[in-house]
Structures are given as C-alpha cells and as structure tokens.
Structure 1
C-alpha cells in the first residue's frame, strides 16, 4: 500500500514538473521580440523598442512578415513576444498566448483585403432583403 501511494506521489510530481517546462516570453517593458524556434532552441530577437501595446507589436511583426514575402521569402506564420505574452501571426489572423506551447486566443482578424482588425469592429454588409 505504501509503495502504491509513493508511486502515485512521484507520478504527480513528475506531471507538475513537465508542466513547468513551458517556454515563457521575456517581460521587458515596451520591447517587441521576434521569436525563432530552431529545433528545441528558442531565440528572442529584439524587433522594436518603446512599443506602446501588444497590438502595435503584432503590427510590427506583420510588417516584418510582409517585407520578407516581398523579398522572396515563403514564411506565412510568424511568432513574437511582448511583455510576457506570445504573439502568433497566422493566415486567419493574430493569436495571443501565455506560453509558446500552450493554448492561444484569437485577438485580431484579417479583413477581406488582408489587413488586421479587432474582430468586433469588422462590419459585414447586410444581406439584401427579399422582395415580396
């Protein structure tokens, strides 16, 4: 019985240790980072300083992504970090997350012409009313 309890406690501690190994973003105030994953190594390259908010950092990352595409690059997805949050630029829009490996939440949507906007601000044309 004691062995079973000791084994269960060890398994629980191992599970908690595995959760703590998630990659965290730097906390530098106002610094926007481009995140590069090379295998298991993660590098944080300073993209801009004195950035006002996470949305402006996302805009700088999108600008960098578009400039690389204009130069002949093929990278469609970019990751960044701002004040402890991760930013993920993807085809559908921008997502934020607390860790690099964890869950993400939707923050900015792409408009019809590819620009980024807050999802609630996007207005769609109303459907035409049917004639009676």
Structure 2
C-alpha cells in the first residue's frame, strides 16, 4: 500500500519536471530583446534591441519600430517575437500579446486601431461587426 503513493508522487514529479523544459526569457532589468528562432524552430536566440526601457509597453514600441523599419526596407516578416524581463512579447496583425512561454497562453496587451497603430484595447471604438473605427475629436467651437 505504501508503494502506490510513492509511485504516484514519482509520476507527478516526472510530469512537473517535463513542464519546466520551457525556455525562459532573459531577465535583465530594462533590456528589450528580439527573439530569433533557429531553423529547427526550437532554439531561440535573444538579441539585445534596446536598454533603459522602463515598461514592457516601451519594449513593445521598440519592437514595432524595428518591424516597421524592416518592412520599409523590403522585408516581409510581419510577426515579431520579443522578450522583456522574463516575459515574451508577440507582435502580429492583431496587436501585442504577452506570455510567460513561447508556446503557452498569450494575453492581449495592445490592439491595432483601424489605421494600424497600437492602443489599449478598451480605448478602441468598434462598429457592430467588431471592426475598429477611427474616431477623431470634434473641432473646437469658434471663439474658444
């Protein structure tokens, strides 16, 4: 009878150790990295993009800036992966998502507006189909 709980405990420990094989993002305070995947798609390389970034949103902005510059130079890569203080940043056509691992759950941080800019998801007005609508403030009244 005591053998069964020991086997169960060993099986649980083996399962948990298999989960810890995920590649962790580097944790350097204020440093933003670009993640380049190897040809086999399993081994990432972390290249330093910017230092002195106080928040993850600023790192996402640096990644978006890099992505746009490469597109202007004729690049075709539209999705970018970055890392900031132990978290992964995923930029794609929908916006910016954050995750603890490369393959795990991702959470929306910034969404794209109708003209392609990034904004906080709750700040974007959408029509009945869910498509983003660009909203401009009304012009000031004369004499004000």
Task: Name the TM tier (shorter chain).
Answer: 0.7 to 0.9
CA distance in structure 1 between the partners assigned to 2:48 and 2:122 by the alignment: 31
Partner of 1:53: 55
* TM-score of the aligned structures, taking structure 1 as reference length: 0.85
Return the offset for 1:56: 0.8
The match for 2:81 is 79
More RCO (CA 8 Å, sep 6+): 1
Structure 2 unaligned runs (5+)? 129-144
Larger CA deviation: 61-70 vs 110-119: 61-70
Q: 1:10 to 1:70 in 2, by over 3 A?
A: same
Aligned to 2:61, the other structure's residue is in SS state helix
Gap change, CA 1:5 and 1:124, over 3 Å in 2: closer
Distance 2:5 2:51 in 1: 52
CA contact (8 A) 1:25 1:81 kept: yes
Number of residue-to-residue matches in the alignment: 126
Query: What does residue 93 of structure 1 align with?
Result: 95
**CA deviations over 1:19-70 (Å, ceiling 9, x no partner):** 1111211111110000111132111100000012111110110111111111
Q: After TM superposition, what 4+ stretches of structure 1 lie above 6 angstroms from structure 2?
A: none
Give the superposed CA RMSD.
Answer: 1.8
CA contact (8 A) 1:36 1:79 kept: yes
- Measured after TM superposition, the shift of residue 78 of structure 1 is 0.4
**1:8 matches 2:36:** no
CA distance in 2, matches of 1:57, 1:76: 17
- Pairwise CA distance, 1:120: 1.1
2:140 maps to: none
Is the Cα contact below 8 Å between 1:23 and 1:101 reproduced in 2?
A: no
Structure 1 residue 19 corresponds to structure 2 residue 19: yes
